[in-house]
Amino acid sequence: MGELKLMKGNEALAEAAIRAGADAYFGYPITPQSEVIEYLMAEKPWERTGMVVLQAESEVAAINMVYGAAGAGKKVMTSSSSPGISLKQEGLSYIAGSELPCVYANVVRGGPGLGTIQPSQADYFQSTKGGGHGDYRQIVLAPASVQEMSDFVKLGFELAFKYRIAVLILSDGVIGQMMEKVELFDPIPRMTDEEITAKYPWATTGKKKGTQRRIITSLDLDSHKMEEHNHHLQEKYRIISENEVRYELIDCDDAEYIFVAYGSSARIAQKAVQLARAKGIKAGLFRLISLFPFPGKEMAALCKKGVKGWLAVEMSAGQMVEDVMLSVKGCAKVGHFGRYGGIVHSPEEVLHAMEEKIIGE
Contact residues for other proteins (CB under 8 A)?
A: 4, 6, 23-24, 26, 31-32, 52, 54, 56-58, 60-62, 64-72, 74, 76, 90-91, 94, 98, 117-118, 173-174, 177-181, 193, 204-209, 213-219, 264, 267-268, 270-274, 344, 346-348
| DSSP per-residue letters across 122-190 | TTHHHHHS-SSSSS---EEE---SHHHHHHHHHHHHHHHHHHT-EEEEEEEHHHHH-EEEEEEPPPPPP
What is the closest distance, in whole angstroms, from the C-beta atom of residue 285 to other proteins in the complex? 9
Cβ contacts of residue 194 below 8 Å, gap of 6+?
A: none
Are the C-beta atoms of 347 and 271 separated by less than 8 Å? yes
CB of 325 to other proteins, least distance (A): 25
**CA 177 distance to own-chain centroid:** 16
Rounded to whole angstroms, the Cα distance separating 302 from 251 reads 12
User: For residues 268 and 324, which CB has a smaller minimum distance to other proteins in the complex?
Assistant: 268
Going by C-alpha positions, the residue among 53, 52, 123 that lies closest to residue 89 is 123
Q: Would you say 19 or 74 has its CB closer to other proteins?
A: 74
Q: Which is nearer to other proteins, 38 or 180 (CB)?
A: 180
**β-strand 290-292 against 139-141: which pairing, if any?**
antiparallel
Beta carbons within 10 angstroms of residue 329's beta carbon? 11
Cβ at position 76, least distance to other proteins in Å: 7
Q: Give the count of beta carbons closer than 10 Å to the beta carbon of residue 319.
A: 23
By three-state DSSP, how is residue 3 classified?
A: strand
Q: How far apart are alpha carbons 36 and 42 in whole angstroms?
A: 10
Closest CB to other proteins among residues 343, 359:
343
Our CB check for other proteins shows the closer of 19 and 345 to be 345
In whole angstroms, the minimum distance from the beta carbon of 300 to other proteins comes to: 26
Per DSSP, the three-state class of 249 is strand
108 strand-pairing partners: 172
Q: Residue 330 carries which DSSP code?
A: T
CA distance 14 to 231: 35
Question: How far apart are CB 295 and other proteins at their closest, in Å?
Answer: 21
Q: Which residues contact 212 (CB under 8 A, 6 or more apart)?
A: none
Name the minimum Å distance from CB 326 to other proteins.
Answer: 28
Nearer to other proteins, 98 or 230 (CB): 98
Residue 128 beta carbon to other proteins: minimum distance, rounded to whole angstroms = 23
The nearer residue to other proteins, 218 or 241, going by C-beta atoms, is 218
Query: To the nearest whole angstrom, how small is the minimum distance from the Cβ of residue 51 to other proteins?
Result: 9
Q: Which residue lies nearer to other proteins by CB, 138 or 270?
A: 270
**Quick one: CA dihedral 107, 170, 159, 125, positive or negative?**
negative
The smaller minimum CB distance to other proteins, of residues 256 and 349, is found at 349
Tell me how far, at minimum, the Cβ of 268 lies from other proteins, in Å: 4
